[in-house]
Amino acid sequence: MPISQDIAPVLPSLRRFSSALNGSRDSGDAFVAAALEYLLANPEAFLHNLSPRLALYQVYLEVWSATNVGDPILGDEASPYDRHLAQLSPRTRQAFLLKTVESFSVSEIACVMGLDCARVYALLGRGAREIAQELAARILIIEDEPIVAMDLEAIVEDLGHHVIGVARGKRQAIALAAERKPELIMADIELADGSTGVEAVNDILGGSSKPVVFITAHAGIYLSMSANRPQPAFLLPKPFNPDSVRAAVSQALFFDRRARRAA
């Protein structure tokens, strides 16, 4: 099969990523065009043992890294968030956008960037910390294990967020949310009072939209609740990696702020 047929379905998402990485659609499209020209001259650079998406993004970043000469050039319409994103180091910006915009897994990012997973986690953690100033939010934690709740609180407050309260069960979570108006909710699935974090979050949201991060050792239960769980939501397994928590919180807030700007 010709490479063109492999990459055609991937081009819209690559253009989106390139636009975010470079600060504008025009600049982003110029780098996509350069990557395609490189592929035309060097078809062996497209690794067929990878998925077309991974292979194309890998080639793109090789070309981008070889030809990029400076920070993104932003227009007057750029938001404060976009300007803060542009200040991240190139590697950090790549990893952060591959995760937040393109939803690649850590192992996929490692493959695309030619790094090991530990390095990707470090980059995602750095990106989350550096961009937290723009994304700082009030966070409600719903978690019945005190030590886990303390760990989560320390991680998100280290990013610059404010934990408005920790609830152990559904009723307490609803009361805290009504009183203190969280901007993001982090919830365990199985709670001490026999309820679930999904039920608590659904009652808190009441049809509205807020970013949610579920952290659980029972991912199967979460997946079985597909008809009732809030969307969009992010799922992290227990035991969790602190860097994955930082990345998930920043990703959830990124999509929320992006959606609100577009509305």
pLDDT digits (tens, 9 = 90+) for 200-212: 999 999 877 788 9
If asked whether residues 182 and 125 sit together in one domain, one would say no
Confidence at residue 227, expressed as pLDDT on a 0 to 100 scale: 47
Asked if residue 2 has a cis previous peptide bond (ω within 30° of 0), the answer is no
pLDDT digits (tens, 9 = 90+) for 122-151: 888 888 777 776 678 999 999 999 999 999
If asked whether residues 43 and 74 sit together in one domain, one would say yes
If asked whether residues 247 and 144 sit together in one domain, one would say yes
If asked whether residues 197 and 100 sit together in one domain, one would say no
Determine the structural domain holding residue 78 and report its residue range.
3-131
Confidence at residue 261, expressed as pLDDT on a 0 to 100 scale: 60
- Range of 7-16, 83-92, 235-244, 246-255 with top mean pLDDT: 7-16
pLDDT digits (tens, 9 = 90+) for 220-260: 554 445 445 555 578 888 888 887 888 788 778 877 776 66
If asked whether residues 28 and 120 sit together in one domain, one would say yes
Confidence at residue 242, expressed as pLDDT on a 0 to 100 scale: 86
- Total number of domains in the chain: 2
If asked whether residues 176 and 98 sit together in one domain, one would say no
Confidence at residue 156, expressed as pLDDT on a 0 to 100 scale: 92
If asked whether residues 178 and 234 sit together in one domain, one would say yes
DSSP readout, 35-59? HHHHHHH-GGGS-TTS-HHHHHHHH
Confidence at residue 221, expressed as pLDDT on a 0 to 100 scale: 54
Domain boundary among 61, 96, 131: 131
Percent with pLDDT over 70 in the chain: 83
Residue 93: CATH number of its domain = 1.20.140.160
If asked whether residues 98 and 169 sit together in one domain, one would say no
pLDDT digits (tens, 9 = 90+) for 31-68: 999 999 999 999 999 999 999 999 999 999 999 988 87
Summary mean pLDDT of the chain = 84
